[in-house]
Amino acid sequence: MFTALIAASEDETGVAAEGENKASHRVIADHLRASSFLISDGVLPSNEGRGYVLRRIMRRGMRHAHLLGAKDPLLHRLVPTLVREMGQAYPELVRGEPLISETLHLEETRFRRTLERGIQLLDEASGDLKSGDTFSGDIAFKLYDTYGFPLDLTQDALKSRGIEVELTQFDTAMEKQRDDARRAWAGSGDTATEQVWFELKEKHGATEFLGYETERAEGEVLVLVKDGKPAKALMKGDEGALILNQTPFYGESGGQVGDRGITASAEGGRFRVTDTQKKVGDLITHFGVVEEGEFKPGDAVELDVDHSARTATRANHSATHLLHEALREVLGTHVAQKGSLVEPTRLRFDFSHPKPMSDIEIAHVENMANAIILQNGAVQTRLMDVDNAIEAGALALFGEKYGEEVRVVSMGTGVEGEHDGKAYSVELCGGTHVRRTGDIGLVKIIAEGAVAAGVRRIEALTGEGARSYLTTQDTRIREAADLLRIKTEDLVPRIEQLLDERKKLERTAADARKQLALGGGGKSDDDAIRTLGEIKLLARKIEGVSPKDLRGLVDDGKKKVGSGIVAIIGLSDEGKAGLVVGVTDDLTGDYSAVELVKTGAEVLGGKGGGGRADMAQAGGPDAGKADAALEAIAQALSEQAGA
């Protein structure tokens, strides 16, 4: 099974899989396979959980690539061979190849920096040890904690030299760090109150959720929570939480934010719900403040969800499903949800993809989602067992925990490809959704960017939010066109023309500033150049020239003096100064631009400077001392020239 992978590793590294290198090639082949299968299943490298397991597997393979002398990231170059050998038996590899390659490449690029730094530090710390000695566990922990060099890599690196790590010391240091961390957050509000939810769940059981069918209902107060503890009552002005036997309020989960609204009692009590959370799975908890009256356990209450917020949230949640499927169709089936946020004002969707989306891809995704919205088809929900739901084509989120029975949400009808005539989007989801896709109105993607390695994010608006956004954009376009006295359709060409004209004007202005600076504002060339002994010095302080133009001015100045030294200080509006010193080639054996620029920078309040003997640059915060800095350079030249 691994012959082809080992052969590919040999070809890429130029190292035969024989003798002491045999094991390294085998580790690379096996760990490449394991890493690629995990990534294709939706796991991405991280510092915790399954992601940390993946990262350790990847890094061990990458370290062996380093041992074989690979100068550049290796594992991602072996992915095509893996897909060719195993993709037929495991099609997920084919679909996920771009994500696998990009993830491996980014991770190995980062790891190589960590590896080089860690091995250098490890060599320094273990240089005096010989075979049979023990390496300090405290130092191993420092390498891990401070420099990100994992223990297993320290052990691997020392194993070849017959040196073991003192694990007791390492474990002690690790436990001390954990104890310090516990003390740092122990007693905080969230942590101190977390235990109470377990106790309440055991006593009262789960909350029955009624919100799929209604936004209004009646319920009974089972318990009140204040300051993290059960309370006998909540009075006017008190902040706390209500737990009821049943509720139409949706508790935050699956990326959908919790409902807000009003809870009222028959005695005139009024509790404003500002957030609803699910605690320990299915204990729906209503957080808020008592605005009128009081609330006690056993009270019968009326519950009224904020209709406008729920409606907008439903639209955004349903749009997220449509965008997810559209992304899979446009970018590929390697796309998998990596997180989402669904709230009344917007939606955010994170997904696996190795590179930025193009404008054309974004527009295509948006158009596909809106085409399904315009169908105005009914959104269907069914209760099914997990296996049957997935077998029927429902998308399940990797890592999510599902009960024996799940809600399957399907919407839209596909019009091309494998979706033709079938349900367009089918997902397992416990959130709330629109009744018909037309209720979404429209969807507009307003941003796309990176979240982490191999993970992208889109943000979008729906319904009134999208309409308002487009209206605002249209108004801005019209205002810009009016300012330029053109039609809106001519706006882009006109802006391109203006930008081109601006670049030409900036070049002309820069050339003019250079000529003015070198011309001395009306002074003759003889006045601009001083002679110190046998050395010519052209010294200037100028305003309105960017630091990047100073080097060009110095080059022009060197041509002007023929043989000599040029020192130019540029003054910024913020009161800072940039200094560039140039020495003509015939004098670099006797004079150093680096030394001269340091002399001037010291007067300007700066430190050091850098460059070559013929050109060096520095700066300082005190532009008011520009004349003194130029004079200091002249004085240093006079002393060196014996003038």
What's the confidence (pLDDT) of residue 526?
55
In order, the DSSP letters of 484-497 are HTS-GGGHHHHHHH
> What average pLDDT does this structure show over 351-357?
90
In order, the DSSP letters of 371-430 are HHHHHTPBPEEEEEEHHHHHHTT-B--TT----SEEEEEEEEEB-SGGGBTSEEEEEE--
Tokens of residue 404, six digits: 């024996």
154-170 as b/e: b if 16+ CB within 10 A:
bbbbbeeeebebeeebb
What's the confidence (pLDDT) of residue 192?
47
User: CB-based contacts of 511: which residues, under 8 Å, 6+ apart?
Assistant: none
The helix (H) or strand (E) run that includes residue 449 is strand 443-452
Q: Whole-angstrom Cα distance, residue 142 to residue 151?
A: 10
Q: Which residue has the higher pLDDT, 400 or 175?
A: 175
3-state secondary structure labels for all residues of 525-579: HHHHEEEECCEEEEEEEEECCCHHHHHHHHHHHHHHHCCCEEEEEEECCCCCEEE
> What average pLDDT does this structure show over 66-88?
91
User: CB-based contacts of 229: which residues, under 8 Å, 6+ apart?
Assistant: 193, 196
pLDDT per position as a tens digit, 408-438:
899 999 877 777 778 899 988 889 999 999 9
User: CB-based contacts of 213: which residues, under 8 Å, 6+ apart?
Assistant: none
Residue 185, CA distances (Å) to 179, 180, 190, 426 in order: 10, 9, 9, 41
What's the confidence (pLDDT) of residue 189?
46
Q: Whole-angstrom Cα distance, residue 267 to residue 30?
A: 69
Q: Is 307 left (phi over 0), alpha (psi -120 to 50) or beta?
A: alpha
Give yes or no for residue 462 having a pLDDT over 70: yes
Which residues face 241 on adjacent strands?
A: 225, 287
Q: Whole-angstrom Cα distance, residue 33 to residue 21?
A: 19
Give yes or no for residue 190 having a pLDDT over 70: no
What's the confidence (pLDDT) of residue 86?
93
Collapsing DSSP states into helix, strand and coil, what is residue 580? strand
- Is residue 555 within 8 Å of residue 568, measured between CB atoms? no
pLDDT per position as a tens digit, 362-387:
999 999 999 999 999 999 988 877 76
- Select from 217, 200, 199 the least CA-distant residue to 208: 217
Residue 91 DSSP label: T
Give yes or no for residue 528 having a pLDDT over 90: no
Q: Whole-angstrom Cα distance, residue 418 to residue 82?
A: 27
Q: Whole-angstrom Cα distance, residue 144 to residue 125?
A: 14
Tokens of residue 211, six digits: 């919100």
Q: Is 81 left (phi over 0), alpha (psi -120 to 50) or beta?
A: alpha
Q: Whole-angstrom Cα distance, residue 475 to residue 25?
A: 62
Give yes or no for residue 575 having a pLDDT over 50: yes
Tracing tokens 């990847």 back to the chain, one arrives at: 58
Confidence of residue 576 (pLDDT cuts 50, 70, 90): confident
| Cβ count near 431 (within 10 Å) | 22
Strands 246-247 and 208-209: parallel
Residue 252 DSSP label: B
> What average pLDDT does this structure show over 543-562?
82
> What average pLDDT does this structure show over 553-575?
87
Confidence of residue 185 (pLDDT cuts 50, 70, 90): very low
In order, the DSSP letters of 253-298 are BTTBPPP-EEEEETTS-EEEEEEEEEETTTEEEEEEEEEES-B-TT
> Any idea which of 237-241, 245-249, 535-539 has the lowest mean pLDDT?
535-539
Tokens of residue 230, six digits: 């059960």
On average, the pLDDT of the chain sits at 87
Maximum mean pLDDT: which of 8-17, 364-373, 617-626: 364-373
Sign (positive or negative) of CA dihedral 13, 15, 16, 22: negative
Distance of CA 390 to the CA centre of its chain: 31
Collapsing DSSP states into helix, strand and coil, what is residue 205? coil
Give yes or no for residue 186 having a pLDDT over 50: no
Strands 529-532 and 455-462: unpaired
Collapsing DSSP states into helix, strand and coil, what is residue 453? coil
Give yes or no for residue 518 having a pLDDT over 60: no
In angstroms, how far is the first alpha carbon of the chain from the final one?
Answer: 81
3-state secondary structure labels for all residues of 604-623: CCCCCCEECCCEEEEEECCH
- Is residue 623 within 8 Å of residue 523, measured between CB atoms? no
245-280 as b/e: b if 16+ CB within 10 A:
ebbbbbbbbbbbbbbbbbbbbeeebebbbebbbbbe
* pTM for the structure as a whole: 0.63
| Cβ count near 53 (within 10 Å) | 15
Q: Whole-angstrom Cα distance, residue 222 to residue 545?
A: 73
3-state secondary structure labels for all residues of 391-405: HCCCECCCCCCCCCE
Give yes or no for residue 609 having a pLDDT over 90: no
Residue 381, CA distances (Å) to 216, 243, 251, 402 in order: 21, 27, 19, 16
| Cβ count near 24 (within 10 Å) | 21
Report the chain's C-alpha Rg in angstroms: 34
pLDDT cut 90: percent of the chain above it: 48
Residues in the chain: 643
User: Helix 151-159 and helix 137-147: axis angle, to 10°?
Assistant: 130
User: CB-based contacts of 314: which residues, under 8 Å, 6+ apart?
Assistant: 432, 433, 434, 439
Q: Whole-angstrom Cα distance, residue 174 to residue 576?
A: 48
- Select from 97, 101, 96, 112 the least CA-distant residue to 64: 112
pLDDT per position as a tens digit, 257-309:
999 999 998 788 999 999 999 998 889 999 999 999 999 999 999 999 999 99
Which residues face 290 on adjacent strands?
A: 271
Give yes or no for residue 316 having a pLDDT over 60: yes
Give yes or no for residue 579 having a pLDDT over 60: yes
Q: Whole-angstrom Cα distance, residue 181 to residue 598?
A: 47
Give yes or no for residue 544 having a pLDDT over 70: no
Q: Whole-angstrom Cα distance, residue 161 to residue 130?
A: 7
